[in-house]
Structure 1
Amino acid sequence: MLTVADFVAGETALIAAVPEAEPVVGEWRSRFDPSVAYGVPAHVTILYPFLRADRIDAGMLADLRALFAAHAPFDVRFSGCGRFPEVLYLAPDPGRPFADLTEAVAARWPEAPPYGGRFDEVVPHLTVADGVPVDVQDTIEAGLAAGLPVAAHVSSVSLHSYDGTIWRNVACFPLGEPS
């Protein structure tokens, strides 16, 4: 389970917010996803942790803008759930566009591998519950079923920074729009 100790002031993340999912996952996330308490919206992570906030300058923001402009916006559906140990998530279909964004950022900034390099495979996902046992995941998954599928249009990626208390949106980068 996430706690404030899991986040370090100055960390940044690149995420694709999925506001269309909030009506379906919002209540569950508020109860079972600790990141909600730190201002994190329903999203698919593109890259976390990214670079330290003190490394982000106008040039890097321009580079991020150009990188994301090279990728087209896309539609996605969340029709079912997937699981990691103690984590229940909505699985995006297609997941490839999210993976393409992750791979592009990681290739440009190899010093910032996804999840700090902890996993061999990065699986795009929208976390609904974190740190919960299987029986609770079963209950949540059954509760989500009536609200699925969720259709969404992903048109941007946001840079968020943790200030020691909350995650704040620092910049938004449109997909497919040259600067």
Structure 2
Amino acid sequence: MAGDGSGEFQAGQSGLIVRVPAAEPAVRAWRDRLDPSARAGVPAHVTVLFPFLHENRIDDGACAAIGEVIGRHRRFEARFEHCGRFPGILYLVPEPDLPFRRLTEAIADRWPQTPPFGGQFDEVVPHLTIAQGQDDAVLEEAEADLRGRLPVTGRVSSVDLMVHDGTRWQQRASFALR
């Protein structure tokens, strides 16, 4: 999860993510060093929707609605074979990416007041961030190392609601795919 690229997170912010624990051995050291969200407690993940509702708007009814939307989607397997880049950002590419896109679209359709990444981008590209705010030399070093650690394959069976407490990101709930 990322905000404006500054690495600054605010208490009460929330986001929905798909954890990718199978990627942790390959990406953990790089993420801890080069991704502010990792240092703030976010595990290796593909973002479904960030920013989501403010924490004070997430009650039992909102959680039930999230669970209902997520529960319409089937579990799937994702494989991460190679890296991709945005300016200053290195990430792993999930294949297939369509199930991630569908999760994002479904949540954004249900809560149109929370467009993905605040509406900053015309197209949402599912990805697992490794590094952000780095120059090309650092990204090339990380990518070269990661090539020897890929592919990584993981089963996607849930979406987690993460909330920032002012210091770190904490998991508040998990919603199962069918």
TM-score range, shorter chain: over 0.9
Corresponding residue for residue 103 of structure 2 = 101
Query: Number of residues paired by the alignment?
Result: 174
The one of 16, 24, 27 equivalent to 1:25 is 27
Quote the offset at 1:44 in angstroms.
Answer: 0.1
The one of 28, 53, 75 equivalent to 1:51 is 53
CA distance in 2, matches of 1:39, 1:135: 26
TM-score for both structures, normalised by structure 2:
0.96
TM-score for both structures, normalised by structure 1:
0.95
Quote the offset at 1:172 in angstroms.
Answer: 0.2
CA distance in 2, matches of 1:111, 1:23: 36
Identity across the alignment (%): 52
1:7-156 aligned at under 5 Å gives the runs 7-156=9-158
C-alpha RMSD of the superposition = 0.8
CA distance in 2, matches of 1:131, 1:43: 18
For structure 2, the residue ranges without an aligned partner over 5 or more in a row are none
Structure 1's consecutive aligned runs of 4 or more residues displaced over 3 angstroms after TM superposition are none
Contact kept, 8 Å, 1:159 with 1:169, in 2: the verdict is: yes
Corresponding residue for residue 159 of structure 2 = 157
Quote the offset at 1:2 in angstroms.
Answer: 3.5
Per-residue Cα deviation, 1:38-66 (whole angstroms, up to 9, x for no partner): 10100000000001000001011001111
Per-residue Cα deviation, 1:71-106 (whole angstroms, up to 9, x for no partner): 001001000000011000000000010000000000
